[in-house]
Homo-oligomer: A and B are copies of this chain.
Amino acid sequence: MASQPVTFSFLLISILISSASSASFEPLIQLPATTTGRKSHVDDDLYCSSWHLSIETNNAGSWAQISSRCESFVQDYMTGQRYMSDSEIVANYSLGYASSIEIASDGKDAWIFDVDETLLSNLPYYQAHGFGSETFDENSWDLWVDLAEAPAIPASLKLYNALKQMGFKIVVLTGRTENQRNVTEKNLMLAGYTGWERLLLRGPSDEGTPATVFKSERRSVLVNEGYRIHGSSGDQWSDLLGFALAKRSFKLPNAMYYIA
């Protein structure tokens, strides 16, 4: 449904309100017969803003790629002030929560970070690939990962360092594969990240395992080792759902792609 081209107007909303009491299976939002360029842009922005909220809240569920209708919205969002602001506020809430936790002396107070669009930003890659509007291409992605040039998301780097200083053990848990371990370590360090407790990647036996299951399994191992997972930061709901959950989860924004 994410790619269904729907358009809003005041008129349409008035019609919806007046006809709301009749039960039907027709789409709740209907296409008006025509749209002007100007109105269409406004309508696209409204639609894409609501679509973005629906993916950030997981209301949209699984989705393949952004619709061409929202490509310019996503570009504006990811390259503008709003993405930066949204990332900052998530980090602020994370730090506020972290500050409420008493760190024990046993070194078992843990915080989990995902890598892509959580610690590192792949905007340089996605800028060259339609901001998520193109079908994912594993070859070009792997070449980008091998460059180890993804910059840090500034708010995440500040949060990471603050948590480390507070005594949290940082576990980096990513869907990247073991054969990308060296370039991932290199990239994280070049971006300013140091001193993690673990860097957990997908091994050969994790191939084909959904991200939610893979990440839950790794968290289970940590829990069995005695770690208390206080927080988990990720841009995908598959970072934050499943089992062996963190006490608090923090959803970083990502309007570009979805990982099941």
> Which A residues are closer than 8 A to B by beta carbons?
1, 4, 6, 8, 10, 13, 16-17, 20-25, 27-29, 46-47, 49-51, 53-54, 56-61, 81-82, 84-86, 88-97, 152, 154-155, 157-159, 161-162, 164-166, 192, 248, 250-251, 253
Contacts and interface: CB of A to CB of B under 8 A. Distances in A.
A160 to B, nearest CB: 8
B155 A28 contact: yes
A16 B158 contact: yes
A225 B39 CA distance: 51
A49 B17 CA distance: 26
Contact of A57 (B56, B85, B165): B56
A82 B46 contact: yes
A46 B161 contact: no
A54 to B, nearest CB: 5
Could you say how many copies of this chain the assembly holds?
2
B28 A92 contact: yes
Interface of A is mostly: helix
Contacts of A24: 158, 161-162, 165
Nearest to A156: B20
Contacts of A97: 61
A82 B13 contact: no
A162 B25 contact: yes
B162 A85 contact: no
Contact of A50 (B4, B82, B152, B248): B82
Nearest to A193: B21
11 contacts: A13-B81, A21-B192, A23-B161, A23-B164, A24-B158, A25-B165, A28-B91, A47-B89, A53-B56, A59-B89, A61-B248
Given A1-B92, A20-B158, 18 more contacts: A4-B92, A8-B81, A8-B85, A10-B81, A17-B154, A20-B155, A21-B192, A22-B161, A28-B88, A28-B158, A29-B88, A49-B82, A50-B86, A57-B57, A59-B89, A59-B94, A60-B93, A61-B93
A23 B165 contact: yes
B50 A85 contact: yes
B82 A16 contact: no
